[in-house]
A and B are shown apart, each in its own frame.
Chain A
Amino acid sequence: MEKGFLSILLHAHLPYVRHPEHERFLEERWFYEALTEAYIPLLKTLEGLSADGIDFRITLSMTPTLLSMMSDELLQSRYEKHLEQLIELASREAERTRSDASFGPLASKYLEIFKASRDFFCGTHRRDLTGAFKALWDSGRLEIITSAATHAYLPLSEIHPEAIRAQLRAAVLTHERILGRKPRGIWLPECGYFPGLDDLLKEEGLKFFVLDRHGILFGRPRPKYGIFAPVVCCSGVAAFGRDMESSKSVWSAEEGYPGDPDYREFYRDIGYDLDREYLRPFLNGDGSRLNTGIKYFRVTQRGPHKEPYSFERAAERAATHAGNFIFNRCKQVEFLEGLMGGQKPLIVSPYDAELFGHWWFEGPQWLGQVFRKLRSDQSVLKAVTLTEYLEDHPRNQTLEPAASSWGYKGYSEVWLNGSNDWIYRHLHKAAERMIGSARIHPAAEGLQKRALNQMARELLLLEASDWAFIMKTGTHTAYAVRRTREHLERFTKLWLEVGKNSIDRESLERIEFTDNIFPDIDYRVYSNQTTDKGE
């Protein structure tokens, strides 16, 4: 009989980076790289476990932006071309390194991986990756939950509950349209929560969410089991707390598994190592260097010296680390069970899905090994999805969680600081205008209705937390500012036209073509009135 439960949660998100107006667009590569390096390997791992009869349990949050891009025909077709290019580059690499005993086999392996990805994407699943995720959800081993429509950081929209409601409604609609079922739970973007948000979640039929540890621990009254059992808000919506100990073993740059010397070195990509002329057909139009996904070295040690990577050695390490993870979790639940007076603890371990495969190349293998070892090597720990846990343990303590996030310092500073605070007056103003327009036009038809719906799409895209986050990190700031400006511009133009009842059809069609996300949106979601909870 198990002594505790483990719930591994992967959060899968990318901002909406679809650019139909350009044949090649740098930021669109974020999506293609994520498919090749994270989502296809994740699907292969989970399908492999299923095929072997391993009864795994994972909760996966898929943001509506990611789901929308995965099911978009233009991006699917472009991804196929991207894969062909990767295969071409890997073929040239296999040829170039043919007589090199260290790198030749590595290049051949990459060629094999990319060809297998193409077969998986184009052949096995006929470009329909969301269908593959849906099939796993249907099997009961994977649970897919949602997130806010464009991953908006909700605490900074508290001033406009209608804007939050629209983020949630569009999320639930998109989930149901693409995956065939409503989500039971939500991954709040960045775990951003404030008391009262759960009422809005309840309105949309969502049953649970996840908080960083202090969101639960600082709850009122005091949570009896700390973060090792869910709590229930007065609204009836449940909140789970994130476990730090298991997070750290995977996240931490110092102590975490991904820094092992045998694992692949992320920062040594041939896109930066090889001659620019040789690479030119595979680089950006302007010839600037980029990550190709072909990396020949292992972490080795700190400093510039790196040794060639070995797929076999890395796979062995992933298996060892999976065993270590299980061993530590078993010790953790045994200790906690004693402390909790016989109550079986639940360990919730959330990770960014892109960590597995993209940043930590061996991550998907590690994940697969965790579930293989869970079945064969122990009986202390049982893996569950979050819904499964709630169904089996319906009685939980009621309390009000504390406002919190999982960002740096635990609150809103990452999304509200000197680098990005200037956007909020525009976001809030646009939300206010959207709410006003929705109230003035409660039953718009025809072109006006289309314009109002497009305004809603532009506002949702404007609210993506990614733009504020990128401004803070300073890595692609120009792009984040550009996206903020473009969505505000399109929104404002439409708002003016709706106000004058003079819609420019051609221009509206152009905007609809460019930002085609959320086809089933209904702008009237913004006209629901709620009371100001701060009063």
Chain B
Amino acid sequence: MKRRVIKRTRSKRVSKASPRKKVSKKKPSLGKVVSSPVRAFDFPAVYGEDRLALVARDPWWLYAYWEITPKTERQAILFLASQKASGLKKVLRIYRKDGPAFDVEVGNFTDNWYVEVGLPDRVWYSELGLRDARGRFHRLIRSNRVRTPRYGISDEIDPDWRMPDVRWDKLLEISGAFAASKSSFDLAKEVST
């Protein structure tokens, strides 16, 4: 299964230092009283913790967001340096229960990613970590598990609730399972002809 990833730009949410404002050379008017602005609450840029969360967006895509504290990252880098690891890359390793894992290089400038896993109805979890040039992976944090939604008609049939195939196909069609449904008028016509 071919997998693709969409690279995300850094979230708007992540606070950045305000761009430096040009300093006006005009002297401030002494006649006006200017109240100092009250600093409004802003969304925290970090919570000061190691966290990796995974949610299923649909049968084929997962969404991951994370936060790694500088301390955790520094410790990992120091340890890897002691192991003579080089060419470190930050990767999201996606594990499938009973299946192979794969890596997504996420770099250092984002904290979230959409990952195309391409497989409905599977259990997934992931690890964010550092991978060196020799392919060794050092885990920083592990995520929760998540199941992608099931997609498609089940092959499993309850013998007590069996419908002849021809009828079931029509029922499916009128239900509009996969595309714009036909009306019962259209189907009635098809059946009668």
Contacts and interface: CB of A to CB of B under 8 A. Distances in A.
Contacts of A227: 175
Contact of A218 (B56, B151, B176): B151
B35 interface: no
5 contacts: A158-B146, A218-B150, A331-B188, A339-B171, A424-B55
Contact of A220 (B63, B154, B162, B181): B154
Given A220-B156, A412-B58, A424-B65, A341 B145 contact: no
B152 interface: yes
Interface residues of A, number: 60
A219 interface: yes
A243 B177 CA distance: 11
Contacts, number: 159
Contacts of A489: 41
Nearest to A338: B191
A351 to B, nearest CB: 17
A316 interface: no
Contacts of A241: 175
Nearest to A409: B58
Most A CB contacts (10 A, CB to CB) among B13, B57, B147 go to B57
Contact of B43 (A213, A228, A485, A532): A485
Given A245-B184, A331-B188, A159 B171 contact: no
Interface string B124-147: 000000000000000000001111
Interface string B55-68: 11111000101010
Given A225-B171, A244-B175, A421 B157 contact: no
B109 interface: no
Nearest to B187: A335
A226 B172 CA distance: 7
B183 interface: yes
Interface of A: 155-156, 158-159, 194-195, 213-214, 217-228, 241, 243-245, 248, 328, 331-332, 335-336, 339-341, 397-399, 402-404, 409-413, 416, 418, 421-422, 424-426, 428-429, 485, 488-489, 492, 532, 534-535
B174 A245 contact: yes
- Contact residues on B (Cβ < 8 Å of other chain), bracket: 35 or more
B53 to A, nearest CB: 6
Nearest to B125: A534
B170 A339 contact: yes
Contacts of A341: 163, 167
B150 A220 contact: yes
Contacts of A488: 41, 43
B11 interface: yes
Nearest to B9: A418
B75 to A, nearest CB: 23
Contact of B183 (A245, A426, A429): A245
A421 B11 contact: yes
B123 A534 contact: yes
A244 B181 contact: yes
Instruction: Tell which of B51, B67, B161, B191 has the most Cβ of chain A within 10 Å.
Output: B161
A332 B184 contact: yes
> Which of A194, A328, A412 is packed against the most chain B CB atoms within 10 Å?
A412
Q: Which 7 A-B pairs have the closest CB atoms?
A: A403-B149, A411-B58, A422-B13, A534-B145, A489-B41, A221-B156, A224-B161
Interface of B: 8, 11-13, 40-44, 47, 51, 53, 55-59, 63, 65, 67, 112, 123, 144-147, 149-158, 161-163, 167-168, 170-172, 174-177, 181, 183-185, 187-188, 191
B177 A214 contact: yes
B47 to A, nearest CB: 6
Contacts of A213: 175-177
Contacts of B11: 421-422
Contacts of B155: 222
Contacts of A243: 175
Nearest to A223: B161
A412 B154 contact: no
B58 A217 contact: no
Given A222-B157, A411-B149, 11 more contacts: A155-B56, A213-B176, A217-B177, A221-B154, A224-B168, A228-B175, A245-B176, A335-B191, A403-B149, A421-B11, A488-B41
B158 A397 contact: yes
A421 B152 CA distance: 27
Contact of B147 (A223, A398, A426, A534): A534
Contacts of B42: 485
A412 B56 contact: yes
Nearest to B55: A156
A534 B144 contact: yes
B61 to A, nearest CB: 8
Contacts of A429: 47
B55 A335 contact: no
A411 B162 contact: no
B175 to A, nearest CB: 5
Nearest to A481: B43
Residue of B11, B57, B144, B149 with most partner-chain A CB within 10 A: B149
